[in-house]
A = this chain, B = another copy of it.
Amino acid sequence: MPHAADRLQTSIETTGSIACVGLDPRPALLPPEIIAGALEEFGDTALGVATAFLAFNLGLLDAINGHCAAIKPQLACYEAYGSAGLRCLEQTVAYARKLGIPVIADGKRNDIGSTAEHYQQAFLGSAPGLNVNRVPGLGADWLTINGYLGSDGVTPFLGPSPSGTGVFVLVKTSNPSSGELQDQALATGAPVMEAMAALVARWGRERVGACGLNDVGAVVGATYPAQAKRLRELMPETIFLVPGYGAQGGTAADAKAGARSDGRGILVNSSRAIIGAWQSTKTADWAGAARAALEKMNLDLRG
């Protein structure tokens, strides 16, 4: 499979968008007719919710296809509904793949090496069967991970370059309390997040695609633009997955603060502002509202 960073860059160029749509369904965001249909079919159960999520997601995917660089399902939203929720996630990802939209599974997984292998199998690869078969995993292109355990919790996700898939490692997260650990000063004078950035740069070395970027990305929140500029110096070949735009307060300029001088290396996520746009604009056309909100975001990011 071609290099994951090259495929993502191609998607950015084809769609003219550096937006990533967070497919993070929750009951409060569902249109009434979808709720009514799922309730009638499966009742107010995990399967009912998962069925509603799937109808919502498929409609959203049709609406945003061709207008965003990638989608990012937040695994927690699906896991909250157990195996029924996970089945919905599998069907959502299968449909995105059919449409050709790159998928970032947002799971922030992390564990020791032998366990990290199982996570690689679950989201990016395939797992051993009972006999000779391999059991295909979710089929995502990228997975978000947490690097707190160091190299041997990360390398199982990588494989020989190019593996065709990639990871985004948490470096500076968008939430208010991210600094409690990430900003603590090290003896070197640099904050902890810069030690993580140095590890990310090291993990990505010699994994650079034709586009000049590698397949070991970093999560860098739009809510901390000054830090993003500094982190870019430490990670010149790294794609930044940028949460925190819009709902969490980051502007377009904030979100692009960590872009390279050639403009590359940035993917900006938005979830509620896109998939819940039908509520804020008070329309029944939820798919159209999502598409319009995405086009507005694209304009904002191009400005």
Closest B residue, CB atoms, query A87 = B83
Q: How far is the CA of A173 from the CA of B112 in the complex (A)?
A: 8
Residues of A within 8 A of B (CB): 24, 26-28, 30, 35, 38-39, 44-46, 48-49, 52, 74, 76-77, 79-84, 86-87, 90, 108-113, 115-116, 118-119, 121-123, 127-133, 135, 137-138, 146-153, 170, 173-182, 184-187, 189, 192, 195-196, 199, 243
Closest B residue, CB atoms, query A192 = B192
Separation in Å of the A161 CB from the closest CB of chain B?
20
Q: How far is the CA of A148 from the CA of B171 in the complex (A)?
A: 9
Cross-chain contact of A130 among B52, B108, B180 (Cβ < 8 A): B52
Q: How far is the CA of A110 from the CA of B189 in the complex (A)?
A: 27
Closest B residue, CB atoms, query A128 = B27
Cross-chain contact of A148 among B44, B112, B146, B150 (Cβ < 8 A): B146
- Residues of B within 8 Å of A121, CB to CB, are 80
Q: Are B44 and A181 in contact (CB under 8 A)?
A: no
Q: How far is the CA of A77 from the CA of B45 in the complex (A)?
A: 26
Q: How far is the CA of A180 from the CA of B169 in the complex (A)?
A: 15
- Residues of B within 8 Å of A45, CB to CB, are 129, 133, 135
Q: Are B187 and A199 in contact (CB under 8 A)?
A: no
Q: Are A118 and B76 in contact (CB under 8 A)?
A: yes
Q: Are B76 and A110 in contact (CB under 8 A)?
A: no
Cross-chain contact of A187 among B48, B86, B137, B189 (Cβ < 8 A): B189
Q: Are A30 and B130 in contact (CB under 8 A)?
A: yes
- Residues of B within 8 Å of A86, CB to CB, are 82-83, 86
Q: Are B192 and A184 in contact (CB under 8 A)?
A: yes
- Residues of B within 8 Å of A192, CB to CB, are 181, 184, 186, 192, 195
Q: Are A182 and B150 in contact (CB under 8 A)?
A: yes
Interface centre among A110, A119, A177 (most CB of B within 10 A): A177
Tell whether A108 pairs with B44 under 8 Å between CB atoms, given A131-B39, A137-B82: no
Q: How far is the CA of A36 from the CA of B178 in the complex (A)?
A: 49
Q: How far is the CA of A86 from the CA of B116 in the complex (A)?
A: 17
Separation in Å of the A271 CB from the closest CB of chain B?
10
Separation in Å of the A248 CB from the closest CB of chain B?
8
Separation in Å of the A200 CB from the closest CB of chain B?
11
Closest B residue, CB atoms, query A126 = B80
Closest B residue, CB atoms, query A127 = B80
- Residues of B within 8 Å of A132, CB to CB, are 44
Q: How far is the CA of A192 from the CA of B52 in the complex (A)?
A: 44
- Residues of B within 8 Å of A182, CB to CB, are 148, 150
Q: Are B130 and A152 in contact (CB under 8 A)?
A: no
- Residues of B within 8 Å of A26, CB to CB, are 118, 128
